[in-house]
Structure 1
Amino acid sequence: MENPSSQRTVAGALEENILAILDSTEADDTQYANDDRTAFLDAVRAASLVPENGTPPTYKWFASIFTILRIGKSLELTMASFKLLNELDKRFPRVHLSVVDESKSSSKPAVIVENEAWSPFVFSSETSNEREAADNPGGSIDSSGFQLLIQDLADATAEPNFQASETKSLGNMLLLQYLVNVLEGDFQPRNCVYAETANWVLLRESLLNMLLVSRKLNYKNLMKDCLAIMCKLYQTNAEFTDDLISSEESVTQPDENFDTAATIALLEIGNNTCIAMQKFLILIMELDVSKKAAEMQGSTTRADGVRTPLLEMVLDELTYNIDILDSFLQVFKSEPKWKLEVVVQYLWKYIGKPSVRTRRSNGPTDDASFSGALKCFSNITSTKSTIKKIRPELVQLLLAHGLQAHLSLPCKRHVEGSSASSEERSNSSLIEVSENIISAFRNLKTADKKMEILPLGKEALFTAATIISTKS
Structure 2
Amino acid sequence: MEKREINRGCMEANTLAIIDCSAGFHSHKDSREAKEDRIDFLEAVRAASVVPENGTPPTKKMVEAVFTILRAGESLELVMSSYELLNEIEMHFPRVYISESSGNGPPELVVVKEAWLPFMVSLDVMPSEKETDRRKACPLFDPNGFHELILGLAEMAYKTIPQRLDTKYLVNVLEGDFVPRFNTYEESLNWNILRECVLNMLLASRRINFKVLMKDCLYTICALCQDYAGNHNESECSESSSEKSSENHNTDVVIALFEAQRATCMAMQKLLIMILELDMSKQQAHMLCLTNRSDGMRTPVVEIILDELTYQRNKLPTFLQVFNDPKWKLEIIVQYLLKYTKPSVHTRRSNGPLENSTFVGVLKSFSDGSSTGNIIKKLNVEEVQLLLAHAFLAYISMATQQHVAAMPDCNKAVLDSSSLVEISKNVATAFDSLREVDEEIQISSLGKEALFTAAFIISTS
TM-score (norm 1): 0.84
How much has 1:331 moved relative to structure 2? 1.7
Q: Match of 1:51?
A: 52
Q: Deviations over 1:442-471 (max 9, x none)?
A: 1111112343222221222222222222x1
Q: Distance in 1 between matches of 2:382 and 2:232?
A: 25
Do structure 1's residue 353 and structure 2's residue 343 form an aligned pair? yes
Do structure 1's residue 332 and structure 2's residue 332 form an aligned pair? no
Q: Distance in 2 between matches of 1:456 and 1:183?
A: 34
Q: Match of 1:120?
A: 118
Distance 1:309 1:130, change over 3 A: farther
Give unpaired runs (5+ residues) of structure 1: 157-161, 245-256, 358-365, 415-420
Matches within 5 A, 1:253-272: 261-272=252-263
- Of residues 335-344 and 8-17 in structure 1, the stretch that sits farther from structure 2 once superposed is 8-17
Q: Match of 1:251?
A: none
Question: Residue type of the partner of 2:60?
Answer: Y
User: Is the contact made by 1:431 and 1:467 (CA closer than 8 Å) also made in structure 2?
Assistant: yes
Q: Match of 1:22?
A: 19
SS at match of 1:96: strand
Q: Deviations over 1:93-121 (max 9, x none)?
A: 111112113x52xx222211111121111
Q: Match of 1:13?
A: 10
Q: Match of 2:300?
A: 309
Q: Distance in 2 between matches of 1:198 and 1:122?
A: 27
Q: Match of 1:145?
A: 145
How much has 1:261 moved relative to structure 2? 4.8
Tell me the percent identity: 48
Q: Distance in 2 between matches of 1:458 and 1:58?
A: 56
User: Is the contact made by 1:340 and 1:402 (CA closer than 8 Å) also made in structure 2?
Assistant: yes
**Cα RMSD, aligned residues only:** 2.7
How much has 1:57 moved relative to structure 2? 0.5
How much has 1:153 moved relative to structure 2? 1.2
Distance 1:222 1:422, change over 3 A: closer
SS at match of 2:304: helix
Do structure 1's residue 389 and structure 2's residue 378 form an aligned pair? yes
Distance 1:233 1:22, change over 3 A: same
Q: Distance in 2 between matches of 1:220 and 1:189?
A: 26
Q: Match of 1:453?
A: 443
Q: Deviations over 1:49-96 (max 9, x none)?
A: 111111111011011111111223222211111111111011001111
Q: Distance in 2 between matches of 1:198 and 1:430?
A: 31
Q: Distance in 2 between matches of 1:285 and 1:424?
A: 23
How much has 1:266 moved relative to structure 2? 2.1
User: Is the contact made by 2:178 and 2:199 (CA closer than 8 Å) also made in structure 1?
Assistant: yes
Question: Residue type of the partner of 2:196?
Answer: E
Q: Distance in 1 between matches of 2:167 and 2:197?
A: 18
User: Is the contact made by 1:332 and 1:339 (CA closer than 8 Å) also made in structure 2?
Assistant: yes
Q: Distance in 1 between matches of 2:390 and 2:106?
A: 39
Matches within 5 A, 1:202-241: 202-239=193-230
Q: Distance in 1 between matches of 2:19 and 2:412?
A: 62
Q: Distance in 2 between matches of 1:448 and 1:271?
A: 38
Question: Residue type of the partner of 2:314?
Answer: D
User: Is the contact made by 2:76 and 2:253 (CA closer than 8 Å) also made in structure 1?
Assistant: no
Q: Distance in 1 between matches of 2:137 and 2:371?
A: 58
How much has 1:423 moved relative to structure 2? 12
Q: Which of 259, 264, 269 is residue 273 of structure 1 equivalent to?
A: 264
Q: Distance in 1 between matches of 2:119 and 2:101?
A: 29
- Of residues 449-458 and 138-147 in structure 1, the stretch that sits farther from structure 2 once superposed is 449-458
How much has 1:28 moved relative to structure 2? 3.3
SS at match of 1:141: coil
SS at match of 1:390: coil
Q: Match of 1:92?
A: 93
- The number of aligned residues is 429
TM-score (norm 2): 0.86
Distance 1:5 1:206, change over 3 A: closer
Distance 1:431 1:8, change over 3 A: closer
Distance 1:151 1:424, change over 3 A: closer
How much has 1:367 moved relative to structure 2? 7.5
Q: Match of 2:280?
A: 289
Q: Deviations over 1:111-169 (max 9, x none)?
A: 1111112111112234448854544354211101111111221322xxxxx4x2x22xx
Q: Which of 156, 179, 182 is residue 188 of structure 1 equivalent to?
A: 179
Do structure 1's residue 197 and structure 2's residue 194 form an aligned pair? no
Q: Which of 422, 429, 435 is residue 419 of structure 2 equivalent to?
A: 429
SS at match of 1:399: helix
Question: Residue type of the partner of 1:26?
Answer: F
Q: Distance in 2 between matches of 1:39 and 1:130?
A: 35
Distance 1:241 1:109, change over 3 A: farther
User: Is the contact made by 2:402 and 2:415 (CA closer than 8 Å) also made in structure 1?
Assistant: no
Distance 1:91 1:351, change over 3 A: same
SS at match of 1:47: helix
How much has 1:11 moved relative to structure 2? 2.7
Q: Distance in 1 between matches of 2:284 and 2:364?
A: 30
- Of residues 63-72 and 391-400 in structure 1, the stretch that sits farther from structure 2 once superposed is 63-72
How much has 1:368 moved relative to structure 2? 5.6
User: Is the contact made by 2:366 and 2:433 (CA closer than 8 Å) also made in structure 1?
Assistant: yes
Question: Residue type of the partner of 2:378?
Answer: K
Q: Distance in 2 between matches of 1:79 and 1:42?
A: 13
User: Is the contact made by 2:63 and 2:116 (CA closer than 8 Å) also made in structure 1?
Assistant: yes
